[in-house]
Amino acid sequence: MLYKFGRFLQVVGMIVVPFAIAGNVLEKLDLKDFLLLAAVGMAIFTLGWLVQQSSRPQ
């Protein structure tokens, strides 16, 4: 269960970053907001990776 949750968080993290890039390209986000949203996406991905690694099926 935790393994699948970790994978889900990784997918969410990979989806957030392109939205931040698109928002910056379309000039809907300024640089500060873009970097913050990208950092949040990377943090979600990293959290998912850590959860997945800790509950990896043997």
pLDDT tens across 16-48, in order?
A: 999 999 998 998 889 999 999 999 999 999 999
The C-alpha atoms of residue 46 and residue 58 are separated, in whole angstroms, by 21
The answer, yes or no, to whether residue 57 has pLDDT greater than 90, is: no
pLDDT score of 55: 87
Contact between 36 and 26 under an 8 Å Cβ cutoff? The reply is no
What is this structure's pTM?
A: 0.85
DSSP code at position 47? H
Phi and psi at 46, nearest 5°, equal -65, -40
pLDDT score of 36: 95
Banded model confidence at residue 56, pLDDT cuts 50, 70, 90: confident
pLDDT score of 58: 64
